[in-house]
Structure 1
Amino acid sequence: MPEDRSIRRSVMAGAAAVLAVIGLLLFMAIRVYAVRAADEAFDRVLAAAALSIADTVEIQEGDVTVDIPYAAFAILGTSRLNRIFYRVVAPNGGLVTGSPTLGLEVPQASTPEPRLHDSVYRGTPIRIAAVARYHAGTSGSGWVDVLVAETREARQQLAGQLTRNALLPTLAVALVAFCLIWLAVRRAFLPLGVVEADIRGRAASDLAPIRGPVPREVRALVAALNEFMDRLGSTLDGLKRVTADAAHQLRTPLANIRAQSEVALDEAPDGSVRERLARIHVNAVNASVLASQILSDATILHRLEAQPRAIVDLAATVQEAVRRIDPLQAQRLRLAGCHGEPVPVRGDAFVLREMVRNLVENALVHAPAGPVEVSLTCHAGEARLKVLDRGPGLDADLLERVFERFVRGDETTPGSGLGLPIARTVARACGGDVTLAPREGGGLCALVRLPLADQRPRPPGGGTAIALALPIVLVAALLPLQAAAQAKLSILGTAPAEQMAPLIAAIEANDPGTTVDYRAVLPTEAALGVIAVAAGASSPDLLLLSSPDLAVQLANEGYVISHAAQPAGGDPPIHWRGEVFAVAADPSVIVVRKDALPGPEVPRSRIALAQLLERAATRLSGRVGLVNIGIDSVSYVAAAQDSLRSPLFWRVTRGFGAAQVRIFDHAGELLQAMAAGELDLAYNVPLSAAQAAIARGAAIEIVVPEDYTVSVPWTVSIPNSAPNPFGARRALDLIVGRDGARALEAGGIGAGPPLTPGRTDSIRQTVALGPELLVFLDPLKRTRFLDTWIQLIVGP
């Protein structure tokens, strides 16, 4: 059995092991339950989305068509974590729409019940819900499969949350149980602590039996201890009696022998008899000294064990020891520093006095010719007692050996070889030590060092300061030594370079040494450029797009990286999955040429606009303009979101068709025509473009619809192939913060629409970032939407 084994630790370790095993089993059970519960919850939503898409499947003229409901992806996008994919398969196995490689391992259905599968799409684990609908047509019939998939981030988050919510009470119960077990074990071991305290608190000579109630389990142990202490007490009592008797019986004959030898020496004639009597006398003296030293040593050891430590004035103790020296010998003593302030040390007055006496007498005996100096000082929290003589001194090899019992430095002088060992024993028992060293000019120096009783804790020294500073130095050394910045930060954006100039200046000021290379392209060109990186094209470091649907599509397909943005001095940024960040909102407004319409006719809502177009279609014929939503992606997003918010969108569109609306490729071209007087009215124009036209001198008026405005957010993201991701992250942190917002606003991007007094921001309907934006990017959905829009614009 190991010597340091603890029963209490063994019991607690066993209890901890049992609780750990139970906790592990509970964790595994809770984890399985949490994953299953998360899967069931999200599977229902996923299956509902697949069912809602399947309900829109139709076969027209032998072709399968599907109209992806906006609500289907909006529901799936409520978690704001999952990426979403889908595929619709015709009865003949051909792709209708969606991802051509999604769920190829899922067999084609022959039943309408939802089917759920785990799969991997582009290296990412996904969950697939498949729903089939049977459709019959003139050219054939069969099952149309609808597959909708999502990644597992939201499921993992929910499973983790359920696990934590279930484990926290379990851990709390386990902790309380462990504490109760610890208290119970501690209470069970309290009687042993009482027995231990009883024994430790006794004097060394107290061998009385242990009293008091003890548990049944340790009663036999306590009885054995009492029996042992009784036997030990009897033995010690016998030794004490023998020692006392021996001391009495030994010292008396020795004193008689010494006295008789002295008398005989006085009366004996010279010759061999006198020489022998002298030897007898010397031996008697030595035996008497040895007996006294041995008894003194035993007394000192007994007091060190038996007497409690108390605060003793060492200065007074030294004076008392000197007074007990033979007066003839004491004449050679020189005292220094022993008459001033008290020198408190912790110990026993008797044993300290014996220590001083032994040192002084040792010096007097071995230095008979010169004075002996005794000095007492205090230094660095300790008392220092020096006994200095002018005797022959000791060889270097004897400076330590003389502290061994019965070892003497000079055999020609009387002594027992116990004085110095007794002195060192006393000094070490009081927390100090005794050392010997040669004295300058000849002689020996005995130095006693004892800690002062009122010593205060010393302040931390240099080693502590170094230890405190070391972690700081290590942290500073381990901080990543990033380069100041790469020479170039490439940004691909959809705004003109002059609008980006304030933002570029802010980025370069935030990262001195960085040069921003900005290139303006169309949103579709930017998206295609990022996708083309896989084919070897160069990649930008940042994407700043005015089309949030394309930005979300790039993130959904895995072309951008996640970043935990930390804006300086701003609110947490709006983002999707930490990959697409909204940095500004560009509201779509109505633009009217000044003085083109009477004040009452200026449309300030969609219903007013529809009524104006219907009432004055002939007068406004060819004088109204729209941006082609089939070409301009920003206008397409605004139109799609407008159609979701109000049924008036299609009435207004029909009114534009009746007024022979003019179609332009982009907002700048439209505003140029209006500034030239060719147009009187335009709809769904980005506010930033209208404000830029006014800054150029165009005589136009911005009208903010009073019912609502569709605000299309600008987005920023980092491609996963960015050559300078560190610089891109720093620039993104700046852009999503207040400094970035001010820089964009200075370039005419992100300034909110002017509000009339009493109105609130509730009219600003900002397009949310999420997978629901992918709905109108579906080829069939987009084609149907554009066909309807064009038909209404062209008119009957």
Structure 2
Amino acid sequence: MAARTHPKTFSIRRRILALALALLVGAAAVLIAFIHDYAQRSADRAFDRLLAASALTIAGAVQIEEGGIIVELPVASFAMFSGRDRVFHAVEDSSGRVVTGYDDLAAALENVQGTEPQFADIMYRGELMRVASVARLTSAANAADWVTIHVAETQSEREALSAEILGNAIVPVIALTLLAVGLVWFGIGRMFAPLTQLEEELRARAPEDLSPIAVPVPSEVSHLVSALNAFMARLGNTMDRLSGLVAEAAHEVRTPLASLRAQAEIAMDETDHQALHRRVARIHQGAVHASQLVSQLLMDATVSHRLESKETDPLPLSAVIEDVRQRLDPDAAGRLVLEVPAEAGAAALRVDRVALREMLRNLVDNALVYSTGPVEIRAALSGEALRVAVSDRGPGIAESEKPLVVRRFTRGAAGAGKSGSGLGLSIVSRVVEAHRGTLALIDRDGGGLTVEVALPVAVRRKTRKARRSAAAVGVLACAVLALNPGPSPQAATSTYPAPRPPETTASPILTIVGTTDTPLFARFIAAFQSLRPDVTVVYEETDTLPMYERFIDGTLAPKPDLLVSSAADLQLKLANDGHALAYDSPFLDELPAWARWRNEVFGFTFEPAVIIYNRDLVAEAEVPRTHLRLAELLETQTERFSGKVATYDISVSGVGYLLAAQDQLISSNFWRLANAFGRVSAQLSGSSPAILDGVAEGRLALGYNVLGSYAFARQAEGADIGIVVPDDYVLVLTRAMVIPRNAPNAELGKAFLDFALSPAGQAVAAEETALGAVMAGTQGPWSSEAIAARGRGVIQPIPLGPALLVSLDRQRRTRFLETWLEIASPKP
């Protein structure tokens, strides 16, 4: 028999604590959920106001000129944003035509009417955007129309603010929850003190002491004490019944044993052979009786144990009948007559196998003992019960004796002279009662007795296994053919083979497209390859605006792994429009905040915009050291400097446009200086090296807004040029790196970016290249500190942020270029 498994003990104290903890944690979770919702709503309100303010600022700049809508984006419209989110805008007229901004943003939104901002969340370029839309009423001639302004922003900053509010609120909630748990634990200990007293009372009792517990306990525990007292009362009654049973069993066994002893003693002295034979027959009869009695007592105990253990399994009746029949001798088994239909024989009974077998065996034994003819066993299903009847043609049982014969050691009058113990029907009765069945003793017509037992049938639960077939999912691959027009006339490609290529595989190739002069950038490549000698580097030099346009058009071939440009605004627009791969460089936190945007645009140089001059054409005493002094010099000596001054052509140079746009924001003398360029018929160039060449060769006297890195490097090489770091203000830009989202070897791009920001890369920028180290604390003649010390003006870095996107607005850029070219272009 399998050992009975006992349930594991548990601690009420721990259960209460666990429940209290669950309730406290649940309450804390609900509170945190409320705080989270509040934090989100608060962040949304704050940033929605910024969005609305940006849209209203743009709306205030909407004008009507010559019947057309003109919008010149104010810098403040984007400068109010934090810089970590991507920003998009669109301005539409009443017909839905996009005046300026992003066409696809306007297509995703509807026109609005009314000056109250309307907000919406949309998916745009793969990210969730929050959009503020306002309308501005404009009138021209006899008509008035609404102009719609949309400003969209990603939601990183508002999520960060929400997380910060939530984080600050969670700390006291957790602290209070832990304090409450401690108080609950202390309170539970105090509450369980009476149970400890009750335990001590029970341990001190003698084993035979089953008297009621009289220890005073709280009302909550009184039910437990009452149940324990009732249990001990029942246990006392059980012990009394058990003692009575033992006494009765001892008495019943003592009588046949005493008779056997007496008969044996007499037989020992008997000399008559016939008499001795009779004595031995009586001894045999008494031994048989005693054996049956002992067997019945043992079986009674076995059945009692089996019924208490309640080990039941579904069991078909036919199997039990066959088991009983096999235990009979052949003559007795031959007297059985079975009338068991197949349906009834297969019916499963959820009963103990041994108990059911002994119940049926006792019924059959009684029928065989008290009758001489056939014994019939019939079975039939009746609803949810199975009825089993055992019938004989014996003397039967008197009606008055039927309630008595189911008791222990009680037999009817018909049992006189028959061997028996008086336990058979008692066992049958207890088995039937334990299985919630019924027992009936029925007299048969014509004499005899039928004992009918009704037992509940086990309900079979049919379970069906669901079969699911897996469908194969096919993946279609599409081949995209791209045109490869080759490099543009402005581009020059250089290849730097790996110093130590891998022996077993091809050398990995890093492709960089940049605007830095190849001889300068080659020094970065050489220093990088000293750390990664297995990498081949392909560097394509081009100009800022063509690089941006070719990348947008998809005509850069091969596809670059890294884009490097001094036109930081164009790099920022690439990232803002979703073309940059995010990368958390290990040097990101050390990079000045103004020299990075999110984790997509990284500045690595420190380059001031300077004024250069030819020492032979401009005397040291008359060198202009401020922007105003430069304008005055050109205004007063127009003929002398006619055709001798150069600056960027901002219509073709991205970095030139960036510097001009920033000059216009800072300097109140910008348009005066632009007018002075026009008066002297300034030469407009697409790059700093071209201007440097003209000044160094004497064809030009002055160059304006030349990148200091090129100027310092050319001066260090021996060029006869002077360099002025203006004394009023100094614009400082940084060359920005972007890893394209579709870079073939993005990991190599990341490796080069990390090198450029590392101390080794910054040392290259601070020394021979003169590009300037952006990292504070870098040693070298061209560190940011050393460069700043060369002038007395305010150092004004051009920060990488959404404000740069204002100058790239389509309409603002067009109007700015038209105005600047009209004023600064050479006069005929």
Q: TM-score, normalised by structure 1?
A: 0.62
Matched, 1:546 2:551: no
Read off the aligned partner of 2:815 and give its amino acid letter: R
Question: Is the contact made by 1:586 and 1:752 (CA closer than 8 Å) also made in structure 2?
Answer: no
Cα distance in 2 between the residues matched to 1:757 and 1:776: 26
Match of 2:41 in 1: 36
2:79 to 74, 80, 101: 74
Match of 2:579 in 1: 559
- Structure 1 residues 5 and 103, CA, compared in 2 at 3 Å: closer, same or farther? farther
Deviations 1:369-421 (A, max 9, x none): xxxxxxxxxxxxxxxxxxxxxxxxxxxxxxxxxxxxxxxxxxxxxxxxxxxxx
- Structure 1 residues 184 and 542, CA, compared in 2 at 3 Å: closer, same or farther? same
Matched, 1:25 2:30: yes
Deviation at 1:595, TM superposition (A): 3.5
- Structure 1 residues 213 and 705, CA, compared in 2 at 3 Å: closer, same or farther? farther
- Structure 1 residues 621 and 512, CA, compared in 2 at 3 Å: closer, same or farther? closer
Deviation at 1:81, TM superposition (A): 1.6
2:508 to 478, 483, 487: 487
Read off the aligned partner of 1:112 and give its amino acid letter: T
User: What does residue range 262-661 of structure 1 map to in structure 2 within 5 Å?
Assistant: 487-533=508-554, 538-567=558-587, 574-661=595-682
Read off the aligned partner of 1:747 and give its amino acid letter: T
Question: Is the contact made by 2:131 and 2:150 (CA closer than 8 Å) also made in structure 1?
Answer: yes
- Structure 1 residues 70 and 646, CA, compared in 2 at 3 Å: closer, same or farther? same
Read off the aligned partner of 1:644 and give its amino acid letter: L
1:160 to 163, 173, 181: 163
Cα distance in 2 between the residues matched to 1:11 and 1:767: 63
Match of 1:789 in 2: 820
* Unpaired segments ≥5 residues, structure 1: 233-482
Matched, 1:679 2:700: yes
Question: Is the contact made by 1:484 and 1:513 (CA closer than 8 Å) also made in structure 2?
Answer: no
Cα distance in 2 between the residues matched to 1:8 and 1:684: 79
Cα distance in 2 between the residues matched to 1:757 and 1:118: 45
Deviation at 1:706, TM superposition (A): 0.8
* Unpaired segments ≥5 residues, structure 2: 1-5, 237-503, 773-781
Cα distance in 2 between the residues matched to 1:75 and 1:515: 43
Deviation at 1:719, TM superposition (A): 0.7
SS in 2 for 1:591: strand
1:119 to 118, 122, 134: 122
SS in 1 for 2:604: strand
Cα distance in 1 between the residues matched to 2:47 and 2:602: 26
Question: Is the contact made by 2:545 and 2:652 (CA closer than 8 Å) also made in structure 1?
Answer: no
Deviations 1:614-634 (A, max 9, x none): 222232222222121111111
Cα distance in 1 between the residues matched to 2:662 and 2:198: 83
Question: Is the contact made by 2:726 and 2:792 (CA closer than 8 Å) also made in structure 1?
Answer: no
1:56 to 57, 61, 72: 61
Matched, 1:749 2:771: yes
Deviation at 1:123, TM superposition (A): 2.2
Deviation at 1:146, TM superposition (A): 0.9
Question: Is the contact made by 2:725 and 2:790 (CA closer than 8 Å) also made in structure 1?
Answer: no
Cα distance in 2 between the residues matched to 1:154 and 1:97: 26
Deviation at 1:518, TM superposition (A): 1.5
- Structure 1 residues 134 and 571, CA, compared in 2 at 3 Å: closer, same or farther? closer
Deviation at 1:151, TM superposition (A): 1.0
CA RMSD of aligned residues (A): 3.7
Match of 1:94 in 2: 97
Match of 1:404 in 2: none
Deviations 1:346-377 (A, max 9, x none): xxxxxxxxxxxxxxxxxxxxxxxxxxxxxxxx
Cα distance in 1 between the residues matched to 2:156 and 2:145: 35
Cα distance in 2 between the residues matched to 1:703 and 1:202: 105
Match of 1:173 in 2: 176
Deviation at 1:61, TM superposition (A): 1.5
Question: Is the contact made by 1:35 and 1:156 (CA closer than 8 Å) also made in structure 2?
Answer: yes
Cα distance in 2 between the residues matched to 1:597 and 1:681: 8
Match of 2:420 in 1: none
Match of 1:382 in 2: none
Read off the aligned partner of 1:643 and give its amino acid letter: Q
Percentage of matched positions with identical amino acids: 37
Question: Is the contact made by 2:613 and 2:723 (CA closer than 8 Å) also made in structure 1?
Answer: yes
SS in 2 for 1:702: strand
- Structure 1 residues 568 and 650, CA, compared in 2 at 3 Å: closer, same or farther? closer
Question: Is the contact made by 2:726 and 2:791 (CA closer than 8 Å) also made in structure 1?
Answer: no
Deviation at 1:779, TM superposition (A): 1.8
Read off the aligned partner of 1:778 and give its amino acid letter: D
Read off the aligned partner of 2:23 and give its amino acid letter: V
1:4 to 9, 16, 23: 9
- Structure 1 residues 32 and 216, CA, compared in 2 at 3 Å: closer, same or farther? closer
Question: Is the contact made by 2:600 and 2:739 (CA closer than 8 Å) also made in structure 1?
Answer: yes
> Which deviates more from structure 2 when the two are superposed, residues 67-76 or residues 183-192?
183-192
Cα distance in 1 between the residues matched to 2:790 and 2:70: 44
Match of 1:780 in 2: 811
Read off the aligned partner of 1:64 and give its amino acid letter: I
Deviation at 1:556, TM superposition (A): 0.5
Read off the aligned partner of 2:521 and give its amino acid letter: M
Question: Is the contact made by 1:570 and 1:737 (CA closer than 8 Å) also made in structure 2?
Answer: no
Deviations 1:556-591 (A, max 9, x none): 010011111103996577421100011112110010
The count of corresponding residues between Structure 1 and Structure 2 is: 543
Question: Is the contact made by 1:486 and 1:727 (CA closer than 8 Å) also made in structure 2?
Answer: no
- Structure 1 residues 758 and 772, CA, compared in 2 at 3 Å: closer, same or farther? closer
- Structure 1 residues 181 and 99, CA, compared in 2 at 3 Å: closer, same or farther? same
Deviation at 1:714, TM superposition (A): 0.6
Cα distance in 2 between the residues matched to 1:583 and 1:707: 25
Question: Is the contact made by 1:485 and 1:513 (CA closer than 8 Å) also made in structure 2?
Answer: no
Cα distance in 2 between the residues matched to 1:642 and 1:602: 20
Match of 2:796 in 1: 765
Question: Is the contact made by 2:728 and 2:792 (CA closer than 8 Å) also made in structure 1?
Answer: no
> Which deviates more from structure 2 when the two are superposed, residues 214-223 or residues 175-184?
214-223
- Structure 1 residues 212 and 652, CA, compared in 2 at 3 Å: closer, same or farther? farther
- Structure 1 residues 63 and 12, CA, compared in 2 at 3 Å: closer, same or farther? same
